[in-house]
Copies of this chain bind each other. A is one copy, B any other.
């Protein structure tokens, strides 16, 4: 007797119960709580380094900070902050006594809530919580039908809608792709509006200049109310170190704008070992720790207590071609170490994502992506940017990979739930009922548990070969192609208060009218 038959024998059919969508519904609200606003992990982080070796990395970072220092370019306010904090400032080069940054970082919260306009979708960042957010920053988009081309605002909106449609992502992300059909100096307005209009989840703002960061925050103020924003995190800004050991004013002024408004900067060195950092993993990790501590500490000098996320982006490079590589084993291992280091600083962590250099949503893409994404969840990352869509070494956002990755994020919900150990899960009554040599298909324990038993992928095809072949013998990319088109067709925008919508549109129109289009 198959499960389906067993269910019929049980008096109701799967169809009567609504089949897959009812099951998903039940999962969303059931005891396992799949389809949650974010994940609270039930498995520990994977700690691969000993205390002794962590101390050696921290000592190396301290020496980099004390002996080599970090340049803060073209931002006199940042330099003033450092002088007042007691750093050794020589021109734009800042050196830090060991322990100084750790002391400053004590005011940063270990955990905070980023509010969504749908308050049921607010996310908790830090601690045992895990938030999946789409990939960020690709100039190109691609799909199986039209291949690779520059991203447009229509693509951008499509990806916001696809993320909103997925029960397995928790965040709307930021610059999901660059909308190159909108002037560079006005893009941020249309991107923020798309996040607000087409998603009811939390999102990220612009960091490409201080004024664009402030526009982003102002739009969040319209959405959430000025007083609420003053007290609560409602927007993130992802700022990058110009590795090695340089912070540019574009980034520090944006970082300070977010901190000043009590919003969270995500502080991220981007280190390709052998290029922007040493070719050896331990050195790249030490550098990353030094750079991130400095950036995070600057947020606390701007506004003590402002939320901040300890970020990280390690990767390797092909030493034959000089091309960056992604999803390789060294950064996966590096992520695990970075996770340990971030926890010792008691800061929320952003780490890794679904990285790959593949130019297609193929075996190469998912091999690298899966290793990289598992490193993110194993290392204890709290905010996982690049969780869906990453292809082509971050140069392209892929429609098919997006839905594959989102599906994998679903599997990771089950994975991070670990194993429940209780009498029902241990199932001794089932063994008593079934006994040696018999099957468990229709037994009472199976009937009571099957609906929430196993992760049920929408991308995997686990039908027998003959059935799969008769249905067209499609590969996963082709299935994903149908899936994103269906999701866009079925998409419905979440309701948005008309007054707020008008105020946002007025703000955007005023801002756009106030400046000439700039295209670079």
Contacts and interface: CB of A to CB of B under 8 A. Distances in A.
Interface in A399-432: 401, 404, 408, 411-412, 414-415, 418-422, 424-428, 430-432
A419 B43 CA distance: 23
B419 A334 contact: yes
A209 to B, nearest CB: 21
Contact of A357 (B336, B414, B456, B462): B462
Given A20-B320, A320-B20, A421-B53, A362 B363 contact: yes
A274 B441 contact: yes
Contacts of A273: 453-454
A378 interface: yes
Contacts of A401: 363
A220 interface: no
B475 A364 contact: yes
Interface string A433-448: 0111111110001100
Contacts of A411: 328-329, 371
Contacts of A459: 363-364, 367
A442 to B, nearest CB: 10
A292 interface: no
B319 A364 contact: no
A148 B449 contact: no
Interface string A463-486: 111001100010111001000000
Interface string A273-289: 11111111111011100
A395 B465 contact: yes
Contacts of A295: none
Given A333-B419, A415-B333, A60 B370 contact: no
Given A68-B432, A358-B460, A363-B366, A424 B280 contact: yes
A117 to B, nearest CB: 31
A388 to B, nearest CB: 13
A358 to B, nearest CB: 7
A143 to B, nearest CB: 14
- The quantity of this chain's copies bound in the complex is 2
A470 B121 CA distance: 45
Nearest to A449: B279
Contacts of A378: 46, 378
Contacts of A370: 366-367, 370-371, 374
Given A244-B437, A475-B360, A48 B43 contact: yes
A464 B56 CA distance: 37
A75 interface: no
B427 A278 contact: yes
A446 B93 CA distance: 24
A181 interface: no
Given A316-B455, A411-B371, A476-B364, A462 B4 contact: no
B367 A404 contact: yes
B440 A276 contact: yes
Contacts of A371: 370, 374, 411, 415
A116 B389 CA distance: 45
B362 A475 contact: yes
Contacts of A19: 320
A363 B476 contact: yes
Contacts of A408: 367
A435 B92 CA distance: 13
Interface in A346-403: 357-371, 374, 378, 392-393, 395-396, 401
A14 interface: yes
B462 A393 contact: yes
Interface string A308-345: 00000000111111111110111011101100000000
Given A68-B432, A282-B421, A333-B418, 16 more contacts: A4-B320, A48-B418, A56-B426, A57-B426, A63-B428, A242-B437, A280-B425, A280-B445, A281-B420, A281-B425, A283-B425, A319-B450, A365-B366, A367-B367, A367-B460, A371-B374
Interface of A: 2-4, 14, 19-20, 43-44, 46-49, 53, 56-57, 60, 63-64, 67-71, 93, 140, 148, 242, 244-246, 273-283, 285-287, 316-326, 328-330, 332-334, 336-337, 357-371, 374, 378, 392-393, 395-396, 401, 404, 408, 411-412, 414-415, 418-422, 424-428, 430-432, 434-441, 445-446, 449-451, 453-457, 459-465, 468-469, 473, 475-477, 480
A-B pairs, 7 with minimum CB distance: A283-B427, A364-B476, A245-B436, A278-B427, A370-B370, A357-B462, A282-B425
24 contacts: A4-B320, A49-B418, A67-B432, A68-B431, A274-B440, A274-B453, A276-B440, A277-B440, A278-B446, A280-B427, A316-B455, A329-B411, A330-B454, A334-B419, A359-B465, A359-B469, A360-B473, A362-B475, A363-B366, A363-B459, A363-B480, A364-B366, A364-B460, A378-B378
